[in-house]
Amino acid sequence: MKIAFFGTGLMGSGFVRRLIVNGHDVNVWNRSPAKAKALEAEGAHAFADPAAALAGVERLHLSLADDASVDEVLEPLAGAIPADTWIVDHTTTAVTPTAERAARWDARGNTYVHAPVFMAPANAAEGTGLMLVSGAKSRHDALLPMLQPMTGKVIYLGEEPERAAAFKLFGNMTLIGIMGVLGDVNRLAHAVGISTQDAFSLFQQFNPGQMLPARAARIEAGKFDQPSFEMSMARKDVRLMIEQAQRGGVELFVMPGVAAMLDAGIARGEGSLDAAAAARAPE
């Protein structure tokens, strides 16, 4: 298949390499031309003009920075992308703009599919990882034979074209949140004179990630009246963390936000419920 790929940064370059390995003929374009040109040594065809890169292609794939960059690249090409050339966007974007973008391109007679990924550049090059797809099931079914070799697993999330954007943000929020928590652990360790290596050795024996499904299931079920960890006690522990860090001259970043969430739950009269009740969405 002849494919155009726009956005050849670390992730996009990995995808291009994988597509070439899978036998596709790939035209590439990037706003920094040197990044696209570098892929010619691996069999891609680099173009300075994105419209020229579209000639004869069956699919246009994108891996860009955000909503603004996607629209900045695509909108000037509204008259140049043939109706039978599908647009497959792997960019991490926000939910509302993704829905608007899908509707806009559908109104023009084009087929736009959002397919963000949980993959590092090495995964993109190896065809491993996880790809999310939403939109009309018929579009997913038509694309699946080509998307499957690009990743380890493709998950279809439903008819609404913006659902993949939402689930991508859910996943990234969790990953980035974990990084924030590790940052606070590291700062607390520094405040009490324990090295990062020593503090993080805890996680060789204690894996808090194993508790995530159970915590999520409790929040989903909304059953908090048989607590395994009372909200008031969780708030006490957070207070100890913040105060101890301050004694060592260090401010935490994530825990004050958690404290505010717990305080809101306690203010609702839920201090004796399971701490997971603090994670409920507002009614």
Give the per-residue pLDDT at 14.
Answer: 97
**Are 2-161 and 192-279 equal in CATH topology?**
no
Give the percent of the chain with pLDDT over 90. Answer: 99
Mean pLDDT (the chain, rounded): 97
Residue 211 predicted with pLDDT over 80 = yes
Give the per-residue pLDDT at 190.
Answer: 98
Residue 54 predicted with pLDDT over 90 = yes
CB atoms closer than 10 angstroms to residue 183: 13
Query: What is 2-161's CATH number, 3.40.50.510, 3.40.50.2300, 3.40.50.720, 3.30.365.10?
Result: 3.40.50.720
**Structure-block tokens of residue 226:** 């048989």
Give the per-residue pLDDT at 189.
Answer: 98
Residue 185 predicted with pLDDT over 90 = yes
pLDDT band for position 282 (50/70/90)?
Answer: confident
CB atoms closer than 10 angstroms to residue 77: 15
CATH for 192-279?
1.10.1040.10
Tell me the one-letter amino acid at 86.
W
All residues at 6 or more sequence positions from 69 whose CB lies less than 8 Å from its CB, including other chains: 7, 91
pLDDT band for position 37 (50/70/90)?
Answer: very high
CA distance linking residue 242 with residue 215, whole number of Å: 23
pLDDT band for position 283 (50/70/90)?
Answer: confident
Residue 113 predicted with pLDDT over 90 = yes
Give the per-residue pLDDT at 206.
Answer: 97
Mean pLDDT (whole number) for 28-39: 97
Residue 87 predicted with pLDDT over 80 = yes
- In this predicted model, what pLDDT tens digit does every residue of 213-260 receive, in sequence order? 999 999 999 999 999 999 999 999 999 999 999 999 999 999 999 999
Which has the closest alpha carbon to 147: 232, 61, 63?
61
pTM, entire model: 0.95
| Every domain of the chain and the residues it spans | 2-161, 192-279
